Amino acid sequence: MIEFRSVTKEFPDGTLAVDDFSLTVPSHRTTVLVGSSGSGKTTLLRMINRMVDPTSGTIEIDGVSVASLEPVKLRRSIGYVMQNSGLLPHRTVVDNVATVPLLRGVPRRTARADALRLLDTVGLDRAIADRYPSQLSGGQQQRVGVARGLAVDPNILLMDEPFGAVDPIVRAELQQELIRLQHELGKTVVFVTHDIDEAFLLGDQIAILREGGRIAQLGTPAEILANPADDFVASFVGADRGKRALHVESQDGSDVLVDSDGRPAGVLVGQRSGAGPSGGARSDVPHIVPTEGPPR
Amino acid sequence: MTWLWSNLDLVWLRTLDHIVLSLPPILLSFVFALPLGWLANRYRPTRGAILSIAGLFYAIPSLPLLFILPVIIGTSLRSPANLIAALTLYGLALMVRVVADGLASVDPDVRQSATAVGFSAWSRFWLVELPLAGPVLLAGVRVVAVSTVSLATVGAVIGAKSLGSLFTDGFQRGIQVEIITGIVATVLLALVLDGAVVLLGRVLMPWTRRTRRIRPAPAAVLGPMPVVRSVA
């Protein structure tokens, strides 16, 4: 569990990036911080592993204030995945994945063997182990980045817009892969994005941020969609544009969900089609099977 | 030409002398330039001062420098150490700026990501920033290597034996072939050292040689996509 308590960050130039921010990030769940640029979301993420120290307030991991921990040691115990992969261009894939274990003193042979197994975990062919990052596609690089983040088997995984720089098809693939991984591994994931669709797809808990890290709304995707706290949230999630306002139209005996522009969005297959993987909140949302709509 | 054939062993000896005089300044200027270049790159205010002062060294004429150094650092005028110190100073004048520029050329994203995964400042410098500055450093070392080999000939004037001794001797005794031999041998040695530095770079930086593979085109860029991926 990660707890932000009244955290404020003022940069030397006077910018108030985060103003009195409090949030509890539950363990083994994915919490998404979503907001536009300037919302302080990346600053908040970086405070967890002390890349940024707050001006005031505290951040605790399982009751221990991170300020009392040595930054380098703390960072080596937390997985970190960033946009553009952040891989070391002068090291091969396998050495990139083994980077942090090697820093922690794991013997080279063991670290490399573990790294090869991690390539399997993130769905990469071991044949690319000896390539350099520049020889990989963007999607492959991000997978290597995720493998590196998992290399020390951390409890916490910080993800800073990890899929922001890849094309939409690869992004969708990576998102599904992360859902699968998270289902298997159950890490405490803090995920930063500006993409509300991505937030709804991946998040168990979502914090919608406005300027200065103020939480506009905190809740599950369903809660936020059902009751946007204010106009800002409604606009952010697209409720006001009718993108989310689906209605049912009957067609050839089955119920088709149509958005306000009249585009088919999915088929209604039942009010309660069994509990989803996370149980609870998600199961009372109608299960939607996506139709193959026109390309966007 | 008969002079050359009957003095091949002399040319070889002077070549060895020349290498012994040239290699230490190349190595030393690199080693000393590391902390200075790091400092210049790390702290903005020091950058201008360090780079200007280092650059000025190159403007000092070589003969006066060779006479002044013994007074400052206590080397004897005619010793190889005196010449090596002077050449190191010239190498430093070039390398400090190269190191500063090389470190500045490291992608800030990579540096930040290295910090984020837990490199300490020390390990990040040696394991990430220095290797990634490698291509720029290599270019600088090549210039220093060639310039040092060329400058080392001036040692002949103060009596430090090198390929330069072939010019001075040739002038004094009016042997044209000896002069030309000295010049050609100096240029050849410079080329050989330059080649050696390039080879060393290839061995130490294998990642710079591998080019990007041509990626297969995505199968269906415009294929149908689900309109709603998921609402919850």
Find residue A267's DSSP bridge partners: A256, A289
Confidence of residue B66 (pLDDT cuts 50, 70, 90): confident
Q: Is residue A113 part of a domain?
A: yes
Question: Are the beta carbons of B212 and A257 separated by less than 8 Å?
Answer: no
CA separation for the pair A140, A147 (Å, rounded): 10
Q: Is residue B39 part of a domain?
A: yes
B223 or B173: whose pLDDT is higher?
A: B173
Sequence-distant contacts of B17-21: CB under 8 A, at least 24 apart? B17/B161, B17/B162, B17/B163, B17/B165, B18/B149, B18/B152, B18/B153, B18/B162, B18/B163, B18/B164, B18/B185, B18/B186, B18/B189, B19/B189, B20/B80, B21/B80, B21/B83, B21/B84, B21/B87, B21/B152, B21/B155, B21/B160, B21/B162
Chain A residues whose beta carbon lies within 8 Å of the beta carbon of residue B225: 168-169, 172, 292-293, 295-296
Indicate whether A133 and A158 sit together in one domain: yes
Same domain, A169 and A266: no
- A284 pLDDT higher than 50: no
CB–CB contact A200 B230 (8 Å)? yes
> Side by side, which strands form the sheet with A254-258?
A247-251, A254-258, A264-268, A288-290
Share of chain B above pLDDT 70, in %: 90
Positive or negative CA dihedral for A84, A85, A90, A94? negative
Is A269 within the bounds of a domain? Answer: yes
Cβ separation A82–B227 shorter than 8 A: no
Residues A260 and A138 in one domain: no
- Give, rounded to a whole angstrom, the gap between the first and last alpha carbons of chain A: 39
Cβ B231–A288 below 8 Å, yes or no? yes
Closest CB from B116, B207, B229 relative to A90: B207
Are A230 and A253 contained in the same domain?
no
Query: Which residues does chain A have within 8 Å of residue B130's beta carbon, measured at their own beta carbons?
Result: none
Judge if A216 and A258 occupy the same domain.
no
Mean pLDDT along residues B131-156 = 94
Q: Do B231 and A73 touch (CB under 8 A)?
A: no
Interface pTM (ipTM) of the complex?
0.80
pTM equals: 0.81
CATH number at residue B137: 1.10.3720.10
Are both A121 and A30 inside the same structural domain? yes
Domain boundary among A200, A224, A240: A240
Selecting from B113, B131, B228 the residue whose C-beta is nearest the C-beta of A82 gives: B113
Residue of A49, A134, A221 with shortest CB distance to B232: A221
**In a domain? residue B231:** no
Q: How many domains does chain B have?
A: 1
Tokens of A276: 């989803």
Own/partner pairs, A211-214, CB within 8 angstroms, 24+ separation: A211/A38, A211/A39, A211/A40, A212/A16, A212/A17, A212/A18, A212/A19, A212/A39, A212/A40, A213/A7, A213/A9, A213/A17, A213/A18, A213/A19, A213/A21, A213/A39, A213/A40, A213/A41, A213/A43, A213/A44, A214/A19, A214/A21
- Looking at chain A, list the stretches that DSSP marks H as alpha helix, in order from N- to C-terminal side: 41-48, 71-76, 93-97, 99-103, 108-121, 138-150, 168-185, 196-202, 221-226, 231-237
Residue B52 lies in a domain: yes
Check CB contact under 8 Å for A99 and B222.
Answer: no
- Residue B134 to residue A90, Cβ atoms within 8 A: yes
- Out of B118, B210, B222, closest to residue A135 by CB: B210
> Six-digit token pair at B9?
């062993």
Q: Which of A57, A56, A59 is nearest to A45 (CA)?
A: A59
* Closest Cα in chain B, distance from residue A187 (Å): 17
pLDDT by residue (tens digit) across A57-107? 999 999 999 999 999 999 999 999 998 878 999 999 999 999 999 999 999
The alpha-carbon gap from B67 to the nearest alpha carbon of chain A, in Å, equals 45
Domain count, chain A: 2
Q: Average pLDDT for residues A115-126, to the nearest whole number?
A: 94
Say which of A75, A167, A290 has its CB closest to residue B227.
Answer: A290
Asked if residue A117 has pLDDT above 60, the reply is yes
Q: For residue A264, give the nearest of B213, B227, B229 by CB distance.
A: B227
Q: Rounded to a whole number, what is the distance in Å from the CA of B51 to chain A's nearest CA?
A: 28
Q: Can you tell me the mean pLDDT for A166-181?
A: 92
Q: Which residue of B has its CA nearest to A237?
A: B231
Asked whether the predicted pLDDT for residue B19 surpasses 80, the reply is yes
Segment among A145-149, B102-106, B208-212, B214-218 with least mean pLDDT: B214-218
| pLDDT over threshold 70, residue A287 | no
Please tell me the distance from the alpha carbon of residue A25 to that of residue A4, in angstroms, as a whole number: 8
CB atoms within 10 A of CB B150: 16
Do A92 and A36 belong together in one domain? yes
Query: What local confidence, expressed as pLDDT, does residue B116 receive?
Result: 95
pLDDT for the residue numbered A289: 58
| Domain co-membership, A134 together with A34 | yes
Question: Are B230 and A290 a contacting pair at CB < 8 A?
Answer: yes
CB B14 within 8 A of CB B186: no
- What is the distance between the alpha carbons of residues A131 and B214, in angstroms, rounded to a whole number? 14
In a domain, A295, yes or no: no
Is B118's CB within 8 Å of A288's CB? no
Q: Quick one: pLDDT band at residue A205, thresholds 50, 70, 90?
A: very high
How sure is the predictor about A202, in pLDDT bands with cuts at 50, 70 and 90? very high
Size of interface A-B (CB pairs under 8 A): 127
Query: Which residues constitute the domain of residue B161?
Result: 2-205
CA distance, residue B203 to nearest chain A CA (Å): 13
Q: Is residue B211 situated within a structural domain? A: no
Asked whether residue B214 is domain-assigned, the answer is no
A225 is in which domain, residue-wise? 2-240
The residue from A240, A257, A273 where one domain ends is: A240
B9 within some domain? yes
Give the SS3 label for residue A135.
Answer: helix
Q: Are residues A73 and A171 in the same domain?
A: yes
Same domain, A152 and A82: yes
Which of chain B's residues have a Cβ under 8 Å away from the Cβ of A197? 229
Do A160 and A275 belong to one domain?
no
The answer to the question of residue A175 being in a domain is yes
A139 and A173 Cβ atoms separated by less than 8 Å: yes
* B112 contacts in chain A (CB < 8 Å): 51, 82, 86
- Kindly report the nearest CA distance between residue A203 and chain B, in angstroms: 9
pLDDT digits (tens, 9 = 90+) for B83-106: 999 999 999 999 999 999 999 999
| Residues A152, A18 within the same domain | yes
Question: B16 in a domain, yes or no?
Answer: yes
Q: What is the mean pLDDT of chain A?
A: 87
The residues of B whose Cβ lies within 8 A of any Cβ of A are: 107, 109-110, 112-120, 123, 128, 131-132, 134, 205, 207, 210-213, 215, 218, 221-232
Reply yes or no on whether the pLDDT at B210 is more than 90: no
